Amino acid sequence: MPLKTTKVAAPRLPPLQKIRVRRPDQPQANPCVGIMTSMLGCWASSGYSAQGCMALEQSLRACMDQAKPKDQKKNTINYHLMRLYPNIRGAKKIDK
């Protein structure tokens, strides 16, 4: 018994004006922002007294003193897409 094959034509995509990946590099959020917000709220409620907010102040200093992680290499996908775009797009039509 022969097998039946059903071939479906692949859908064709419309031509693109530009090939671009949007925002490949997302900035990392600062982990000390939450502690700083708590400390500023504590200062606003207690009138900048050192005794009431000492624990928050010490935790903020410890957070700020931690070493920052090394920067990762920047993503170069947009550079390569711009470089390879003429090869992907093909030859242009010449209007006469």
At residue 23, the pLDDT reads: 65
Length of the chain: 96
Give the torsion through C-alpha atoms of 36, 37, 41, 46, to 10 deg: -10
Per-residue pLDDT tens digits for 38-85: 988 988 888 776 688 888 889 999 998 987 777 667 767 777 777 777
Q: What is the pTM of this model?
A: 0.46
Identify which has the larger pLDDT, 38 or 31: 38
Q: Bigger pLDDT: 37 or 23?
A: 37
Q: Residue 61 — φ and ψ, nearest 5°? A: -65, -40
